[in-house]
Chains A and B, each alone.
Chain A
Amino acid sequence: MSNKREQERERLRAHRLEREQAETQANARRRRLVQLGSGAVFLAVVVVAVLIVVSGNQNSGGSGEVVDVGLVDKMVGGIPQSGTTLGNPKAKVTVYEYGDLQCPVCKAYSEQVLPQIIEGQIREGKAKIEFRNFTIIGPQSKPAGAAALAAGKQGRGWNYIDIFYRNQGAEASGYATEAFLTTIAKAAGIKNLAQWNTDRKSKALTDKVSATTAEAENLGFTGTPSFAVTGPKSHGLNTLGTPGSAEAIEAAIKKAS
C-alpha cells in the first residue's frame, strides 16, 4: 500500500519536474523572441526617424514636390472666390495686389503678411482682395500669370497663386515650366485641366496679363508686390506701394471703409 502511494508520489513528482522544465524552456524561448522583437522595434524607430529627417530636408522649390497645399486650402477655404478675387463680392473695400508669381518678395508677403489680412478683414467680409499680374521677373512670368487667371475661371485662383508662391524655385531660374504650372494646377484642385490648358493659352487671358502690367506701371509702381486700396472713403485708388506690414494694409482698409 505504502509502496503504491510512494510510486504515485514519484509519478506526480516526475510529471511536475517535466512541466517545470518545459516551462523554463518556454520562458527562455519567449525571452529570446522578445529580445528579437525589441531589436526590431529599435530598428523601426531608427528607420522612421531617418525617413522623417530625409523628407524634412527635401527641397521643395520647383522640384515637383508640392508643399503647403493643405495650409492654403485652410486659409482660403470657405471664402468666396471669383476670378482672382478673394472675398465677399459685396465688400465695399477692394485691395489690389500687383504681383509676379516668380517674385520672391511676393512669396514672403504671401506667407507672412497676407494670411493676417485674409484670415481677418477678408474672411470677415469687410474687404476683398484681387490679384493682378505685374510681370517683371522674366519670360516665364507671363504664362504663369495667365495660368493663375485660368485657375480663377474655375474658382481656384487664390489656391493657384498661393500654392505657386509657396513652391517657388530660385528666381527666374527657368523652373516655371509647363510641367510645373500643371503640377501647381493639380495641387490647387483644378477639376477641368483640359479647360484650364485652353484658357491659359487664350488671347483673352494673356492680353489681360499684359494689360494689368501696363496698368501697374501707369500707377507708378516699380516693384512687386505693390498694393492699392479702393473703398467708399478712399477718393479713388489709394496706392500703397509695398507696405512693410499687414498692419499698414489693415489700416488702409479701415481708412477706405
Chain B
Amino acid sequence: MSMKPPTEFTLRRAIAAIAAIGIGVATYITIADSSGGAPACLAGGGGCQTVASSSYSHIVGVNVAVFGILGYVLLLGTAFVQGDAGRFSGFIFALFGFSFSVYLTYLELFRIHAICQWCVGSAVVMTTLFALNATRLVAYGGTEDDAPGSGRAPIPTQPEDA
C-alpha cells in the first residue's frame, strides 16, 4: 500500500509557512532573552526560566535561538528554490536543524531537568520541516522542476493501436 504524496508545490508552500512559524518562535525566544528575561511559559512553572538561565542556552555567547532563526530563514529560502538544488539543500538544512533539536531536547530532559514550551514548540516545528523536506526529496528528487499544481509527469500510456 502506498500513499500518494502531496504535489511538490503543496509541499513547498507548507515548508514556507511552517518555516515562517519557526522564525516567529525563535525570534520570540531571542527577544525575551536579550531583554534580560526568559520566555514566558504559558502554563506557568519555571521551565522556561530554568532553561534560559542554564549554561546550555548560549553557544559562544550567542543564544541558541539565534541559530534557530538562521536555520528557519535558510529553510524558508529553500522552499523558493526549484529542482534538486532546493530539494537537497532543504533536506540538509532540515536534517541539521532536526539533529540540533534532538540534542537540545536531550539537554532539557537529562541535563537541565526542565522543559521550556517554546523550545518544545521549536523542536516540533523543526521535526515537521524535516518530515516535509524528506518527503520532497524522496518523492520528487531527480524529477523536473515543478509547476504550480502539478505532480510528477506520468509516462504516456496511449495504446500503440489508437
Contact = CB atoms under 8 A, between A and B. Distances in A.
Partners in one complex: yes
Contacts of A186: 53
B158 A69 contact: no
Contact of B103 (A36, A51, A65): A51
Interface in B65-117: 84, 87-88, 91-92, 95-96, 98-99, 102-103, 106-107, 110-114
Contacts of A40: 91-92, 95
A187 B111 CA distance: 14
Interface string A68-85: 111101100100000000
Interface in B43-67: 45-47, 49-51, 53-55
Contacts of B148: none
B84 A9 contact: no
Contacts of B50: 69-70, 73, 189
Contacts of B91: 37, 40
A9 B160 contact: yes
B162 A8 contact: yes
A44 B106 CA distance: 15
A77 B46 contact: yes
B84 A33 contact: yes
Interface residue range, chain A: 35 or more
Given A29-B84, A66-B55, A71 B156 contact: no
A64 interface: yes
Contacts of A16: 155-156, 158
B156 A19 contact: yes
A187 B54 CA distance: 7
Given A19-B156, A26-B143, A40-B92, A70 B114 contact: yes
Contacts, number: 107
B129 to A, nearest CB: 14
Contacts of B87: 33
A59 to B, nearest CB: 13
Question: Chain B: interface secondary structure?
Answer: helix
Question: Chain A: interface secondary structure?
Answer: helix
B151 interface: no
A163 B62 CA distance: 25
A145 B140 CA distance: 65
A67 interface: yes
Given A30-B142, A37-B91, A47 B160 contact: no
Contacts of B137: 33-34, 37
Contacts of A204: none
17 contacts: A9-B162, A19-B156, A29-B141, A30-B140, A30-B142, A34-B137, A36-B88, A37-B134, A40-B91, A44-B96, A44-B99, A51-B103, A52-B106, A56-B111, A69-B112, A73-B114, A189-B46
